[in-house]
Structure 1
Amino acid sequence: MKKIVLTLCMLPMLIWIQGCAPATYEITGYTGSYINPDIPVPSNATLIEGIAYSDDPNLKKGANYELKHIGGEQGLYPPMDYFQKLADTGWVELEEKRMGHVHFLKKDTTVIAIEIREDTFEITEMIKDAIE
Protein backbone atom coordinates (compact mmCIF):
# COMPACT_ATOMS: atom_id res chain seq x y z
CA MET A 1 0.00 0.00 0.00
CA LYS A 2 2.84 2.37 0.87
CA LYS A 3 4.36 1.82 -2.58
CA ILE A 4 1.14 2.77 -4.32
CA VAL A 5 0.74 5.95 -2.24
CA LEU A 6 4.39 6.85 -2.80
CA THR A 7 4.03 6.29 -6.54
CA LEU A 8 0.87 8.41 -6.70
CA CYS A 9 2.63 11.20 -4.78
CA MET A 10 5.73 11.07 -6.99
CA LEU A 11 3.87 11.04 -10.31
CA PRO A 12 2.67 14.69 -10.20
CA MET A 13 6.13 15.81 -9.15
CA LEU A 14 7.76 13.99 -12.05
CA ILE A 15 5.27 15.48 -14.50
CA TRP A 16 5.91 18.95 -13.06
CA ILE A 17 9.71 18.52 -13.32
CA GLN A 18 9.42 17.38 -16.95
CA GLY A 19 7.25 20.40 -17.73
CA CYS A 20 9.93 22.71 -16.33
CA ALA A 21 12.70 21.30 -18.50
CA PRO A 22 14.13 23.88 -20.91
CA ALA A 23 12.84 23.73 -24.45
CA THR A 24 15.39 23.01 -27.14
CA TYR A 25 15.71 23.91 -30.76
CA GLU A 26 16.01 21.50 -33.66
CA ILE A 27 17.92 22.01 -36.89
CA THR A 28 16.63 19.83 -39.73
CA GLY A 29 19.26 20.77 -42.32
CA TYR A 30 20.89 23.82 -43.85
CA THR A 31 20.36 26.15 -46.77
CA GLY A 32 22.11 29.31 -48.04
CA SER A 33 21.23 32.53 -46.26
CA TYR A 34 19.18 35.36 -47.69
CA ILE A 35 22.18 37.71 -47.81
CA ASN A 36 24.90 35.32 -49.02
CA PRO A 37 24.53 31.72 -50.24
CA ASP A 38 27.92 30.85 -48.69
CA ILE A 39 26.49 31.39 -45.19
CA PRO A 40 24.53 28.33 -44.08
CA VAL A 41 21.37 28.85 -42.04
CA PRO A 42 19.08 26.19 -40.58
CA SER A 43 16.53 25.29 -43.24
CA ASN A 44 13.72 25.34 -40.68
CA ALA A 45 14.56 28.91 -39.59
CA THR A 46 12.03 31.48 -40.79
CA LEU A 47 13.28 34.64 -42.47
CA ILE A 48 11.70 37.55 -40.60
CA GLU A 49 13.21 40.36 -42.65
CA GLY A 50 16.08 41.36 -44.90
CA ILE A 51 17.89 44.45 -43.68
CA ALA A 52 19.66 47.18 -45.66
CA TYR A 53 22.04 49.39 -43.68
CA SER A 54 22.18 52.65 -45.60
CA ASP A 55 22.81 54.63 -42.40
CA ASP A 56 25.81 52.65 -41.07
CA PRO A 57 29.08 52.74 -43.04
CA ASN A 58 30.35 49.49 -41.42
CA LEU A 59 27.38 47.27 -42.27
CA LYS A 60 26.52 46.00 -45.73
CA LYS A 61 23.30 43.97 -45.42
CA GLY A 62 21.62 41.63 -43.00
CA ALA A 63 18.86 39.14 -42.37
CA ASN A 64 16.86 38.38 -39.25
CA TYR A 65 15.67 34.79 -38.70
CA GLU A 66 13.41 33.08 -36.20
CA LEU A 67 14.11 29.61 -34.82
CA LYS A 68 12.46 28.85 -31.49
CA HIS A 69 14.93 28.37 -28.60
CA ILE A 70 18.08 28.66 -30.76
CA GLY A 71 19.92 30.69 -28.13
CA GLY A 72 18.62 28.87 -25.10
CA GLU A 73 17.19 30.78 -22.18
CA GLN A 74 17.65 34.53 -22.79
CA GLY A 75 20.10 33.79 -25.61
CA LEU A 76 22.77 32.68 -23.16
CA TYR A 77 23.64 29.40 -24.90
CA PRO A 78 25.02 29.71 -28.43
CA PRO A 79 24.00 26.84 -30.72
CA MET A 80 27.26 24.90 -30.91
CA ASP A 81 26.07 22.59 -33.71
CA TYR A 82 25.27 25.64 -35.87
CA PHE A 83 28.69 27.15 -35.22
CA GLN A 84 30.25 23.77 -36.05
CA LYS A 85 28.42 23.81 -39.41
CA LEU A 86 29.77 27.31 -40.06
CA ALA A 87 33.30 26.08 -39.24
CA ASP A 88 32.85 23.04 -41.50
CA THR A 89 32.01 25.33 -44.42
CA GLY A 90 35.10 27.50 -43.89
CA TRP A 91 33.90 30.24 -41.52
CA VAL A 92 36.40 30.98 -38.75
CA GLU A 93 35.18 32.66 -35.58
CA LEU A 94 37.12 35.75 -34.56
CA GLU A 95 36.83 34.96 -30.85
CA GLU A 96 38.77 38.03 -29.74
CA LYS A 97 36.15 40.24 -31.43
CA ARG A 98 33.12 38.60 -29.75
CA MET A 99 30.84 41.02 -27.94
CA GLY A 100 28.26 39.28 -25.74
CA HIS A 101 25.61 37.78 -28.00
CA VAL A 102 27.44 38.90 -31.17
CA HIS A 103 29.91 36.50 -32.81
CA PHE A 104 32.13 37.58 -35.71
CA LEU A 105 33.20 35.09 -38.36
CA LYS A 106 35.44 35.41 -41.40
CA LYS A 107 35.77 33.46 -44.63
CA ASP A 108 38.22 34.70 -47.27
CA THR A 109 37.62 38.47 -47.30
CA THR A 110 34.02 38.37 -46.01
CA VAL A 111 33.26 39.13 -42.36
CA ILE A 112 29.85 38.48 -40.84
CA ALA A 113 28.34 39.14 -37.43
CA ILE A 114 25.83 36.68 -35.98
CA GLU A 115 23.76 37.89 -33.05
CA ILE A 116 22.10 35.04 -31.16
CA ARG A 117 18.98 35.65 -29.05
CA GLU A 118 16.56 33.23 -27.41
CA ASP A 119 14.26 32.71 -30.41
CA THR A 120 15.98 34.69 -33.16
CA PHE A 121 19.33 35.25 -34.77
CA GLU A 122 20.55 37.99 -37.07
CA ILE A 123 23.29 37.66 -39.67
CA THR A 124 24.96 40.86 -40.84
CA GLU A 125 27.59 41.14 -43.53
CA MET A 126 30.20 43.72 -42.65
CA ILE A 127 31.96 46.17 -44.98
CA LYS A 128 35.54 45.06 -45.63
CA ASP A 129 37.88 46.05 -42.73
CA ALA A 130 34.95 47.18 -40.54
CA ILE A 131 36.21 45.34 -37.44
CA GLU A 132 39.92 45.20 -38.17
Structure 2
Amino acid sequence: MKKIILTLCMLPLLIWVQGCAPATYEIEGYTASSINPDIPVPSNAKLIKVITDSGNRNIKEGVMYELKHIGGEQGLYPPMDYFQKLADTGWVELEEERMGHIHFLKKDTTVIAIEIREDTFEIYEMIKGTVF
Protein backbone atom coordinates (compact mmCIF):
# COMPACT_ATOMS: atom_id res chain seq x y z
CA MET A 1 0.00 0.00 0.00
CA LYS A 2 2.85 2.40 0.85
CA LYS A 3 4.44 1.73 -2.54
CA ILE A 4 1.24 2.69 -4.34
CA ILE A 5 0.89 5.92 -2.34
CA LEU A 6 4.54 6.74 -2.90
CA THR A 7 4.17 6.10 -6.62
CA LEU A 8 1.08 8.31 -6.80
CA CYS A 9 2.92 11.10 -4.97
CA MET A 10 5.99 10.83 -7.22
CA LEU A 11 4.05 10.90 -10.49
CA PRO A 12 3.08 14.63 -10.33
CA LEU A 13 6.63 15.48 -9.31
CA LEU A 14 8.08 13.63 -12.30
CA ILE A 15 5.62 15.31 -14.66
CA TRP A 16 6.49 18.73 -13.22
CA VAL A 17 10.26 18.11 -13.52
CA GLN A 18 9.88 16.98 -17.14
CA GLY A 19 7.83 20.07 -17.93
CA CYS A 20 10.54 22.33 -16.50
CA ALA A 21 13.33 20.82 -18.58
CA PRO A 22 14.99 23.43 -20.79
CA ALA A 23 13.86 23.48 -24.40
CA THR A 24 16.52 22.79 -26.99
CA TYR A 25 16.95 23.70 -30.60
CA GLU A 26 17.30 21.21 -33.40
CA ILE A 27 19.33 21.65 -36.57
CA GLU A 28 18.02 19.63 -39.49
CA GLY A 29 20.92 20.23 -41.89
CA TYR A 30 22.61 23.25 -43.39
CA THR A 31 22.18 25.58 -46.32
CA ALA A 32 24.10 28.62 -47.60
CA SER A 33 23.51 32.01 -46.02
CA SER A 34 21.80 34.61 -48.16
CA ILE A 35 24.65 37.12 -47.69
CA ASN A 36 27.57 34.76 -48.37
CA PRO A 37 27.31 31.22 -49.76
CA ASP A 38 30.42 30.18 -47.76
CA ILE A 39 28.55 30.66 -44.47
CA PRO A 40 26.45 27.62 -43.50
CA VAL A 41 23.12 28.30 -41.80
CA PRO A 42 20.77 25.74 -40.24
CA SER A 43 18.27 24.86 -42.97
CA ASN A 44 15.35 25.07 -40.54
CA ALA A 45 16.30 28.61 -39.47
CA LYS A 46 13.77 31.18 -40.68
CA LEU A 47 15.12 34.31 -42.39
CA ILE A 48 13.58 37.29 -40.57
CA LYS A 49 15.27 40.25 -42.21
CA VAL A 50 18.20 41.43 -44.30
CA ILE A 51 20.21 44.22 -42.72
CA THR A 52 21.70 46.58 -45.29
CA ASP A 53 22.25 49.60 -43.05
CA SER A 54 23.17 48.69 -39.49
CA GLY A 55 24.60 52.07 -38.57
CA ASN A 56 27.97 50.42 -37.92
CA ARG A 57 30.61 51.51 -40.45
CA ASN A 58 32.44 48.18 -40.09
CA ILE A 59 29.46 46.10 -41.26
CA LYS A 60 28.94 45.47 -44.96
CA GLU A 61 25.59 43.68 -44.61
CA GLY A 62 23.81 41.25 -42.34
CA VAL A 63 20.91 38.89 -41.89
CA MET A 64 18.76 37.85 -38.95
CA TYR A 65 17.45 34.31 -38.58
CA GLU A 66 15.03 32.77 -36.12
CA LEU A 67 15.63 29.32 -34.66
CA LYS A 68 13.85 28.64 -31.38
CA HIS A 69 16.20 28.16 -28.40
CA ILE A 70 19.44 28.35 -30.43
CA GLY A 71 21.19 30.38 -27.75
CA GLY A 72 19.76 28.56 -24.78
CA GLU A 73 18.18 30.42 -21.91
CA GLN A 74 18.65 34.18 -22.46
CA GLY A 75 21.22 33.45 -25.17
CA LEU A 76 23.80 32.31 -22.62
CA TYR A 77 24.73 29.04 -24.33
CA PRO A 78 26.29 29.27 -27.80
CA PRO A 79 25.31 26.42 -30.14
CA MET A 80 28.50 24.35 -30.15
CA ASP A 81 27.37 22.06 -32.98
CA TYR A 82 26.76 25.08 -35.21
CA PHE A 83 30.19 26.51 -34.42
CA GLN A 84 31.68 23.07 -35.14
CA LYS A 85 30.00 23.12 -38.58
CA LEU A 86 31.48 26.57 -39.20
CA ALA A 87 34.94 25.26 -38.21
CA ASP A 88 34.49 22.22 -40.47
CA THR A 89 33.87 24.53 -43.42
CA GLY A 90 37.01 26.57 -42.75
CA TRP A 91 35.83 29.35 -40.45
CA VAL A 92 38.20 30.07 -37.56
CA GLU A 93 36.87 31.85 -34.48
CA LEU A 94 38.84 34.92 -33.44
CA GLU A 95 38.44 34.19 -29.73
CA GLU A 96 40.38 37.26 -28.61
CA GLU A 97 37.84 39.49 -30.39
CA ARG A 98 34.74 37.85 -28.89
CA MET A 99 32.38 40.27 -27.16
CA GLY A 100 29.74 38.47 -25.07
CA HIS A 101 27.07 37.21 -27.48
CA ILE A 102 29.09 38.27 -30.54
CA HIS A 103 31.56 35.82 -32.06
CA PHE A 104 33.95 36.84 -34.85
CA LEU A 105 35.09 34.27 -37.39
CA LYS A 106 37.50 34.48 -40.30
CA LYS A 107 37.92 32.51 -43.51
CA ASP A 108 40.57 33.65 -45.98
CA THR A 109 40.12 37.44 -46.02
CA THR A 110 36.45 37.48 -44.99
CA VAL A 111 35.46 38.26 -41.40
CA ILE A 112 31.96 37.67 -40.10
CA ALA A 113 30.30 38.39 -36.78
CA ILE A 114 27.62 36.08 -35.40
CA GLU A 115 25.42 37.42 -32.63
CA ILE A 116 23.62 34.65 -30.73
CA ARG A 117 20.43 35.33 -28.79
CA GLU A 118 17.88 32.98 -27.22
CA ASP A 119 15.67 32.49 -30.30
CA THR A 120 17.54 34.39 -33.00
CA PHE A 121 20.98 34.82 -34.45
CA GLU A 122 22.40 37.48 -36.72
CA ILE A 123 25.25 37.11 -39.18
CA TYR A 124 27.15 40.19 -40.29
CA GLU A 125 29.77 40.30 -43.00
CA MET A 126 32.38 42.83 -42.01
CA ILE A 127 33.97 45.33 -44.42
CA LYS A 128 37.42 44.25 -45.62
CA GLY A 129 40.14 45.67 -43.43
CA THR A 130 37.95 46.04 -40.34
CA VAL A 131 40.05 47.02 -37.34
CA PHE A 132 38.96 45.64 -33.96
Interval of TM-score (by shorter of Structure 1 and Structure 2): over 0.9
SS at match of 1:78: coil
Residue in 2 aligned with 1:27?
Answer: 27
TM normalised by structure 1 equals: 0.97
Which range moved further: 108-117 or 49-58?
A: 49-58
Amino acid aligned to 1:110: T
Distance across 2 between alignment mates of 1:59 and 1:46: 22
Matched, 1:60 2:60: yes
Residue in 2 aligned with 1:101?
Answer: 101
SS at match of 2:115: strand
Distance across 1 between alignment mates of 2:124 and 2:46: 16
Distance across 1 between alignment mates of 2:131 and 2:102: 13
Distance across 2 between alignment mates of 1:87 and 1:68: 22
SS at match of 2:12: helix
Unmatched segments (≥5 aa) in structure 1: none
Residue in 2 aligned with 1:11?
Answer: 11
Could you report, residue by residue, the CA deviation over 1:60-116 in whole angstroms, capped at 9, with x for unpaired residues?
Answer: 000000000000000000000000000000000000000000000000000000000
Matched, 1:129 2:119: no
Distance across 1 between alignment mates of 2:54 and 2:113: 17
Unmatched segments (≥5 aa) in structure 2: none
Q: Percent identity?
A: 81
SS at match of 1:35: coil
Shift of the alpha carbon at 1:131? 3.3
SS at match of 2:11: helix
SS at match of 2:47: strand
Distance across 2 between alignment mates of 1:131 and 1:42: 29
SS at match of 2:84: helix
Distance across 2 between alignment mates of 1:54 and 1:113: 13
Amino acid aligned to 1:74: Q
Structure 1 residues 126 and 24: CA distance shift in structure 2, 3 A: same
Distance across 1 between alignment mates of 2:46 and 2:57: 27
SS at match of 1:123: strand
* Number of equivalenced pairs: 132
Structure 1 residues 28 and 88: CA distance shift in structure 2, 3 A: same
Matched, 1:87 2:87: yes
Residue in 1 aligned with 2:49?
Answer: 49
